[in-house]
Amino acid sequence: MTLKPLYKEKPSEPAKSDWLQEGFEHIWLPYTQMQDAALPLPVVDAYGCRIKLADGRELIDGISSWWSVCHGYKHQYIVDAIKNQTQQLSHVMFGGLASEPAYTLAKRLVEISPDGLSRVFFSDSGSVAVEVAMKMAVQYWRNKNNRNKTKLISFHNAYHGDTMGAMSVSDDDDWIHKVFKGYGPEQIRFAVPDENTLEQLAKNVAAIKDSAAAIIIEPLVQGAGGFKFHSPLILKEIYEIAKKNDLLFIADEIATGFGRTGTMFACEQAGVTPDIMCLGKALTGGYLGLAATLATEDIFTAFLSDDYGSAFMHGPTYMGNPLACAAANASLDLFAREPRLDQIEKIQRLLLSELEICRELEIVKDVRVKGAIGVVELKETDWKKIKQAREKFIEMGVWLRPFGNVFYIMPPFTISTEELEQLTAATYSVLKD
């Protein structure tokens, strides 16, 4: 296999060991056609909003490492929290044994999440948090002796993860999930409605409510499935449709949670409390893998019984890992202590004013901003050009990775005005060319 580095300059200092080249022969990259896969950029350090490469160059991060690193890299407060926890207790199983960071975190998550959510089930990745939510929803009805309500209602352009259940509720026509179309549990998908199609959705849902367990949605912003937005009003209406039809309402806040859309959780803007809520990504500030599925007391109570079989049957090995939970507790401290929501508001203002200029470009279909999410959607998808754009961004010293027909910026909330302006300027410049 020929290896094509993304950049031309040779590393200024010879690498001490060739871990990259040697390891690359054995690595299988995500979402990548390996036949002509470019060699990833070797990273030797990251701090604040900067990613430092082995050749000494630095990239300004506009992706927050898949939207997780919300306080920037190497934040000393989180680093210390993890270090201290390592010296205390790195891991212990969650069955029969308890560790302080997880129990403290559960209490804190309930305190900051929409009123009514009261129980926390920990797992280690967002996809699993979604699987857990789906199993909870189906078993909720089974525990109530209803075995017909099994289907999940989801939406076009949804992305809920890459495991089997999560795929079944994601858009099955997108580039990530297409190959598995028709495999796995069969669910029901509708378009996210607008004011004109709400009534139709209400009718469609009413027609299938007896076989449906829940509606699952990414509130306000659909992420990897195309970065489509809907208003708090629409979200509220979808919630009402779920309630009217005796369906559970699952909010997948894995991408939107922890401030990304301008409030701590996107559901707040619609004033709704989901029956089940999934968290992940920025939960630990992006330092360690951790996810959580929150449920209301109503959901939880449906699992209480003299019959052991009514209990929730799930339990990831690394559930409630103390290191990850210590990082999450530290991250919550930072949200309380540092002006994150103000920073997000400032990012929103800057993205709105700086990306607007992209709208005048012939190839651009739409420009939209919500919280610390800036999106430029193109009229067409051309993967060859997307690849060129990715290379151009690196040459310009920014880390942005458009995909499909979408260019997006989701920076760490701690990004400076100058750094953010470099991201928006690079976006315009690359689109213009």
Ligand X SMILES: *Cc1c(COP(=O)(O)O)cnc(C)c1O
**Residues identified as active-site:** 31, 159, 252, 281
Q: What is the DSSP string of 57-119?
A: -EEEESSHHHHT-TT-BT-HHHHHHHHHHHHH-S---SSS---HHHHHHHHHHHHHSPTTEEE
If the CB atoms of residues 98 and 179 are measured against ligand X, the closer one turns out to be 179
- Distance (Å, rounded) from C-alpha 308 to C-alpha 295? 20
Q: List the interface residues with ligand X, window 132-191 (CB under 6 A).
A: 159-161
Contact segment (CB under 6 A) with ligand X among 121-129, 180-188, 336-344, 382-390 equals: 121-129
Q: How far is the CB of 363 from ligand X (least distance, A)?
A: 26
The neighbouring-strand residues paired with 295 are 119, 276
If the CB atoms of residues 62 and 143 are measured against ligand X, the closer one turns out to be 62
Beta carbons within 8 Å of 424's beta carbon, 6+ residues apart = 350, 351, 354, 355, 374, 409
Q: How far is the CB of 63 from ligand X (least distance, A)?
A: 12
Instruction: Tell me the three state secondary structure of residue 214.
Output: strand
Contact segment (CB under 6 A) with ligand X among 125-133, 302-310, 318-326, 331-339 equals: 125-133
Binding of ligand X at residue 130 (CB under 6 A)? yes
If the CB atoms of residues 113 and 127 are measured against ligand X, the closer one turns out to be 127
Q: List the interface residues with ligand X, window 304-343 (CB under 6 A).
A: none
Q: List the interface residues with ligand X, window 189-218 (CB under 6 A).
A: 218
Binding of ligand X at residue 122 (CB under 6 A)? no
The tokens for 399 are 């880390």
CA 11, chain centre distance (Å): 33
If the CB atoms of residues 171 and 419 are measured against ligand X, the closer one turns out to be 171
If the CB atoms of residues 72 and 289 are measured against ligand X, the closer one turns out to be 289
Binding of ligand X at residue 254 (CB under 6 A)? yes
Q: How far is the CB of 93 from ligand X (least distance, A)?
A: 22
If the CB atoms of residues 220 and 431 are measured against ligand X, the closer one turns out to be 220
Among 65, 99, 127, 139, binds ligand X (CB under 6 A): 127
Contact segment (CB under 6 A) with ligand X among 78-86, 126-134, 373-381, 383-391 equals: 126-134
Q: How far is the CB of 223 from ligand X (least distance, A)?
A: 4
Residues binding ligand X: what is the number (CB under 6 A)? 15
Q: β-pairing, 151-155 with 117-123?
A: unpaired
Among 125, 273, 414, 427, binds ligand X (CB under 6 A): 125
Instruction: Tell me the three state secondary structure of residue 207.
Output: helix
Binding of ligand X at residue 65 (CB under 6 A)? no
Q: List the interface residues with ligand X, window 11-50 (CB under 6 A).
A: none
The answer to whether the CB of 433 falls within 8 A of the CB of 363 is no
Sign of the CA dihedral with 283 first, then 287, 291, and 297 last: negative
Among 171, 172, 252, 354, binds ligand X (CB under 6 A): 252
Q: How far apart are the first and last CA of the chain?
A: 31
The edge-to-edge listing of strands for the beta sheet with 364-370 is 364-370, 373-378, 406-409
Nearest Cα neighbor of 431 from 374, 383, 384, 393 is 393
202-239: b or e for each residue (b if 16 or more CB lie within 10 Å)? bebbeeebeebbbbbbbbbbbbbbbbbbbebebbebbb
Task: Select the residue whose beta carbon is closest to ligand X and give its number.
Answer: 126
Q: How far is the CB of 139 from ligand X (least distance, A)?
A: 20
- Distance (Å, rounded) from C-alpha 340 to C-alpha 262? 9
Nearest Cα neighbor of 34 from 8, 65, 7, 3 is 3
If the CB atoms of residues 256 and 343 are measured against ligand X, the closer one turns out to be 256
Binding of ligand X at residue 287 (CB under 6 A)? no
Among 224, 242, 330, 400, binds ligand X (CB under 6 A): 224
Chain residues in the site for ligand X (CB under 6 A): 125-127, 130, 159-161, 218, 223-224, 252, 254-255, 280-281
